[in-house]
Amino acid sequence: MTDVLKLGKRTFTVAVALATIFWSVGISAFVLPSNASAASAGDVIKGTTLSTLYYYAADGSRYAFPNEKTYYTWYSDFSSVKTITDSELAAIPLAGNIVYRPGSRWIKIQSDPKTYAVTPQGQIRWIESESVAQGLAGSDWNAFIDDVSDTFFVDYTVGTSLMDAGDAYNGALVKMSDKKYLVWNGVKREVTSSGWSGNRYQDRVLLDGTSIDLAGVTSGSSVSGQESVLVDVAQLGEEVTGGLSVSLASDTPASATVPADAASVPFTKIKFTATSGSASIDQLVFKLGGVGAVGNLGNVYLYDDGTRLTDGRSVNSSTREVTFSALNIDLSSGESKYLTVRADIAAAPNGGDTASFYLSSESSVSSSATVSGNFSISGNTMTFSETQAGTIVVDKTGTISDPTIGEEGAVIAKFTVEAQDEAASIERITVRVDDAPDHSNYDLWQSDTLLAAGEQSGDLVAFILTNPLELAEGKSATLKVTADIGGQANDTVHVAIEEEADILAIGGDYGFNMSADITGYDETGSSCASSADDCSYGTIIGGELTFAFNGPASDDVQIDGDDQVFMEFSITAQNWTDLKELAVIIACEDGSASGCDADPVADDGDLYNDGADEPNLQDITIRETDGTTWMGPEEYDDTSDITHTLTFSDDQILQTGETLDLMITADISTDAIQGDIYSMTLDMSAIVAEDANGDELSTADDIVPSSDIGGNNFTLTDASLTVDLAEPPSSGTYVKGANNVDTVGFSFVAGGASDLTVTEVKYTAMGDNDGAFTDLDGDIDVGDHVSSCSVYDSESGALVDGPESLNSDDEVTFSDFDWSVEAGETSKMVLRCNYSNQDTESATDDAYAFYIAAAGDITAEDADGDQIDPTLSDDNSDGAVAIVIASTGDLDITLDGSTAKSTIILGSSTGVSMAKYKFDATDEAFTVKKLTLRNCVAAAADADDDCADGGEADGSDSIASAVKISYLDKAGATQTKTGFISGGKVVFDNLDFYVPTDSTRTLSVTADTATVSSTGAASGSSIQLNLDAESTGAIGDFEAIGAGSGETLTEDDVDTYVVANDMVARKTKPTISLASGSPSGASVPGLSEVFRFNVSADSRGYVALNAITFKVTSTDGGAGDWNICSALGSATKWEFYDNADPSTKLDDATDWFFLDNTTDDDACTAAQDLKYAILDLATSATTPVEEIGAGETKTYVLRIDTTGASSTDDDSIRIDIIDETEADGLVEDCVAGGAPDCASYDDDDNDLQAIAWDDDVEADNVNGDFVKNLPVTGGTIVY
């Protein structure tokens, strides 16, 4: 790691240090040598002009002391300060700021209460508690602390906290047993008297706390004399090192299939942590894993987040290693860094090959610290696809204008990006800018839309698009890069994209990085030699003295406003320069309201206001951007001209290479004319400046530009404020006792002339007891119902003022606050009120509206503190936005869409889902305290609460041994309550079921079932747990308490009966499904298998299969009548087998019964197509019913003789098992003992059944209702 890199954040505050370095002690507070002398490394130096002190370091640079407190941690007086000439001082590069000496005073900043101890390299450690501080420094520890300006706090880096005083901390000076010790890099070193004085240590920084115990700290050699590392004020010497932990990042990329030609695909993300002391990472060697050739990959890169750290590297084909060297990454103690390996995918990888990247061992990481980790550390494996990713094409577009030194927001690059082959989402673009550190404030734009601010690292500037730029396939966008220009005159600016990986675009089709074609914009460095090359090229304009215009854009300026900005510009001096005179042309422009006709009699637009006898523009001043006066102020006298030149003659010195950002401001007269337009111009021909030799600079040759620099036009306008009703909040309904109700909002629109501060607003309230403002009754004393109100900023949510109560006139006033509205912007103020729990005025709801009665009820002032007169538009006095207060909210209960469907439930089961009910609260939250579930088998609400009419029937209470409900309480925790059915209902009381207003809540109902047996629940009995909150009858008990109103809703208020689905209890149940291997497709006519299906029995008992209704779907293209009843409807053509025994038929001729495709109730008419075949095993004289054992599955095969079907005409057949709904529509006059005897499959209405089965020994001839998977559809067989 180089010494310059060790500075870290200190390099960022140089400019601030130079601006604020005039120490409060003053130059007269100490004696400095007056004679100039040569400086050597290690000296404290200053120039002849300024009092700033610098440390001249061994690296040839100077480091500024930001204040005297910092200086006194290193030195006790100023006797060693050397004075050199200003030119000698300017020749020494300025590198950064000095930080507090390690082990010296503790520091804190005013914006952060934390106290920090200073350790080497400017690393600070938070002292976490008073006990630790007292343990280190004793009872007077708080006298050991210095305040450091927030500005210079960034010079330090924050390390791990100090949670214990025992071992002190690195760099600490400790007094123990009359000896002095230095704690340094993990050892304690006794400091002798010679070592103490030789290293300029001071007794005032000794720690003497009683909690320090260095007994366990290893002893090192004594400090007996001066040691360079201890007195090096810039701390460029010894580096504090410790451990470096290496591990796989938790968000390392997941395994994926990556398309061909994808660019910069992330493979592996590694976490590096400095575990004790600082650590550096100098080199990493990754190995390529996976199965595949090296040629599957192109360039490989190393990234720190979105910043590319290296150029593209190749994987060595022999070692399969890729090396990233010269990384120079530094980590402070406790700091972590995440580095990602990315790779370009070849245009034609081997599909199916895999790749990964890993660190094989500790030796793969070159570091100043001890490396540890669970090696090897590997990312996930990626698989290559031969599918091509899309391409993002980058091309140069147009040329750029040559920028000027000091110019802000200068365009330095223009290019286009186009998505080819798929849509693109561009997330990152990195450009190379030669000498990028010379410039600053890089931004990426699409037209006038800022896409991202740049992060500069070396010559690379990365733009991370938080909101990606979306391009449809085939579409393009033109982008530009801007920067604030530094550097030197005649320097060239080269911008292009260096590597394909420098543009990250995610493809819309495959979701991976698209390939990048940058050939139209890839000439970087010396390859970018002119504007004709594939890059953006420009030459920096500048001279001995360079002026650059930096805005602002045309805008309004405030009449009676102070320090209104008319121009911003910069001055850059190539060498030491004395600027003696600067001229500004002031003009009243065409288009002014007064016409600018220079009539001295009428007050009509010239520069001087005759009526008020004063200039329209006054106190014209050239200022630094912080408002400090740099030249002026100047005034012009009585003039009738519409232009006037003011000359500023304050001598100003510009140092070599210095750039000053300046602005021209003016105060505008109270009597200036609204709508007049003014501008200011720098008269370049009138500039007077001299170099260090006293020679005058030429405006033609030495000062750039030579032509005048004109500012934009500014229109005089009064500060203004327009207030208007703004929604949201909109009208709404709440319940009594509601708090924090957004009641009304008003927008405050500031004109462009001035920022405004609102200091007082008065609202007036009115109330109406009929729930609406149709007649504006105002018949409620609002103060009785509104306890307090506050006003809030709508955007930030911050409290502006309040709470305040209403007065007897129903007014509430907020005052003595400062609420800012920026010029040209709109802010919204929201009135938020708390409503009392008092009953409404009448049976109907109450309505309340708050309004601003008059513009005078608003007090506001401009940026100069002058009061303005607001304009009030819609004041809401008509109650357009009103808050309705109800006595209580509403609670709606419905059946949830995920509630259980009607089905078979088995005995001896737990947690059987019975129903889910959805609760929806309106206007206030509720806590449901009591509810009733009614066991009533019904298809609709029970109108009279008797469950005995209209198709209703009492459910079987014996089915459920227990009923449980589950819900969420107010804390979001799941609560479960258990109840028992008695008398056809179960009542749950003392509940805490919470229903909020912002989302619905679900009540889940489950049951534990009793044994299905002759002594338990009866097979075939039903249960249906409906939620009964109906006002009719005495069963539906219900209570819910409103969270805001405190009112209780009962069944009389809710008055609802929500019907669940009925469940049928069985001991066991069958499950029927299509079996694997059931035939379909081409076949030949004849006796063959046409259908195969499974029947499974639940483990609780066996199932007897009594009868099955098969559905026949067939075609007869050749009119051969093979599928009519007289042909196919013969029992001899049908055979039924157990697949486990295909040689034994399970049916005989008397077991089959057939139906045609008509609805005439006849069995099967000879000439009609056969439609249904019913297999009835229960009435068979020769074959028994099929029994499927508990927990077993049997597979059955149906064969049909299809002789007569034509293969020429593609005749076909398909067999299904129907469901009970279809079976119910097949009415056939068959009765027990009839011909044929169909009792086994005849239900109560003489309808056929889809299947008939026995529930073990508990029930016979159960139909197909609720049997899982019905209907079962077979495959179509084509002949």
Q: Are residues 259 and 324 in the same domain?
A: yes
For 1108, the 3-state DSSP assignment is strand
Stretch among 607-616, 679-688, 1254-1263 having the lowest mean pLDDT: 607-616
Task: Please report, for residues 7, 400, 437, 687, the alpha-carbon distance to residue 97 in angstroms, rounded to integers and kept in the order given.
Answer: 9, 37, 18, 35
Among 30-44, 358-372, 679-693, 721-735, name the one with the lowest average pLDDT: 30-44
pLDDT in the model for residue 639 = 64
Alpha carbon 225 to chain centroid distance? 57
Range scoring the smallest mean pLDDT among 325-334, 468-477, 753-762, 1176-1185: 1176-1185
pLDDT of residue 692: 82
User: For the domain that residue 496 is a member of, what is the CATH number?
Assistant: 2.60.40.1170
| Backbone CA torsion sign across 772, 776, 781, 782 | positive
pLDDT tens for each residue of 727-782: 999 998 888 888 899 999 999 999 888 899 999 999 999 888 876 666 555 678 88
**Exposed / middle / buried, residue 880 (Cβ in 10 Å: 0-12, 13-18, 19+):** middle
- Buried-state track 309-346, b at ≥16 Cβ within 10 A, e below 16: bbebbebeeeebebbbeebebbbbbbbebbbbbbbbbb
Return the pLDDT at 1090.
94
CA 1233 centroid distance within chain: 76
Range of the domain at 956: 890-1066
989-998 confidence digits (pLDDT tens): 999 999 998 7
803, pLDDT greater than 90: yes
pLDDT(35) > 90: no
Sign, Cα dihedral of 419, 425, 426, 428: negative
Confidence of residue 1222 (pLDDT cuts 50, 70, 90): confident
Judged against a pLDDT cut of 80, whether residue 424 lies above it is answered with yes
Contact predicate 342/297, CB 8 Å: no
pLDDT over 70 at 986, yes or no: yes
What CATH number is attached to the domain comprising 314?
A: 2.60.40.2030
Average pLDDT for 708-729: 93
| HSE-CB of 673 using CA atoms within 13 angstroms | 22
Neighbours of 215 (CB within 10 A): 8
Query: Which tens digits make up the pLDDT trace of 560-615?
Result: 889 999 999 999 988 889 999 999 999 988 878 777 754 545 555 567 777 777 88
Q: How far is CA 993 from CA 891, 965, 1003, 1041, in A?
A: 13, 10, 8, 10
Query: Do 401 and 436 share a structural domain?
Result: yes
Total domains present in the chain: 8
Q: For the ranges 23-32, 327-336, 775-784, which has the lowest average pLDDT?
A: 23-32
Give the number of C-alpha atoms closer than 13 A to the C-alpha of residue 1216, restricted to the C-beta side: 17
Residue 236 inside a domain? The answer is no
CA pair distance 1177, 1152, nearest whole angstrom = 9
User: What would the DSSP string read from start to end of 772-826?
Assistant: S-SS----S-GGGTEEEEEEEETTT--EEEEEE---TTSEEEEEEEEEEE-TT-E
Same domain, 22 and 137: no
Q: Quick check: 62 and 93 in contact, CB under 8 A? A: yes
Local confidence band at 468 (pLDDT 50, 70, 90 cut-offs): very high
Rounded Cα gap, residues 1219 and 1222, in angstroms: 6
Digit-coded pLDDT (tens) for 401-410? 999 888 889 9
The reported pLDDT for the residue numbered 166 is 85
**Is position 237 within any domain?**
no
Percent of the chain with pLDDT over 70: 91
Query: Cα(1081)–Cα(948) distance, rounded to whole angstroms?
Result: 54
CATH number where 847 lies: 2.60.40
Shared domain for 899 and 1035, answered yes or no, is yes
Read off the pLDDT of residues 271-293 as tens digits, 9 standing for 90 and up: 999 887 888 898 999 999 988 88
3-state helix, strand, coil in the chain (%, to 5): 10, 45, 45
* 1125 in a structural domain: yes
In terms of domains, do 1033 and 1083 share one?
A: no
Question: What secondary structure, in 3-state letters, does 116-142 show?
Answer: EEEEHHHEEEEECCHHHHHHHHCCCHH
CA distance 1035 to 177: 87
Over range 533-556, report the average pLDDT.
Answer: 91
State residue 14's pLDDT score: 39
- Is residue 1003 domain-resident? yes
Residue 413, pLDDT above cutoff 90? yes
CB burial of residue 60 (10 Å; 0-12, 13-18, 19+) = exposed
Are both 801 and 913 inside the same structural domain? no
Neighbours of 91 (CB within 10 A): 11
pLDDT band (50, 70, 90) for residue 8: very low
Task: Decide which of 383 and 1248 is more confident.
Answer: 383
Let me know if residue 238 belongs to a domain. no
Residues 6 or more apart whose Cβ sits within 8 Å of residue 464: 305, 306, 427, 428, 452, 455
Are residues 1009 and 1059 both part of a single domain?
A: yes
pLDDT given at position 31: 41
**Are both 873 and 938 inside the same structural domain?**
no
- Residue 983 pLDDT > 50: yes
Q: Are 1158 and 1261 found together in one domain?
A: yes
* Residue spans of alpha helices (H) in 1071-1160: 1125-1128
Look up residue 728 and give its two tokens.
Answer: 């949201």
With CA atoms as reference, report the closest residue to 493 among 535, 444, 555, 450.
535
Do 8 and 90 belong to one domain?
A: yes
Residues linked to residue 449 through DSSP beta bridges, in sequence order: 446
Cα distances (Å, whole numbers) of residue 592 to 587, 596, 678, 753, 1056: 11, 6, 8, 16, 73
Position 25 pLDDT exceeds 50: no
- Is 235 within the bounds of a domain? no
In the DSSP assignment, the letter for residue 5 is G
Give a yes or no: residue 234 inside a domain: no
Find the farthest-apart pair of alpha carbons in the chain and give their distance in angstroms, rounded.
Answer: 137
The residue from 98, 130, 147 where one domain ends is 98
Considering the domain architecture, whether residues 181 and 277 belong to the same structural domain is answered as no
Pick the residue with more confidence: 816 or 177?
Answer: 816
Residues of the chain above pLDDT 90, percent: 48
pLDDT-wise least confident of 154-163, 307-316, 771-780, 1205-1214: 771-780
What CA–CA distance (Å, rounded) separates 1158 from 143? Answer: 106
* pLDDT score for 45: 92
pLDDT at 142 over 90: no
Does a structural domain hold residue 817? Answer: yes
Mean pLDDT of the chain: 86
pLDDT for the residue numbered 943: 54
Of 1066, 1096, 1120, the last residue of a domain is 1066
Q: Are residues 1050 and 1192 in the same domain?
A: no
Domain boundary among 388, 415, 450: 388
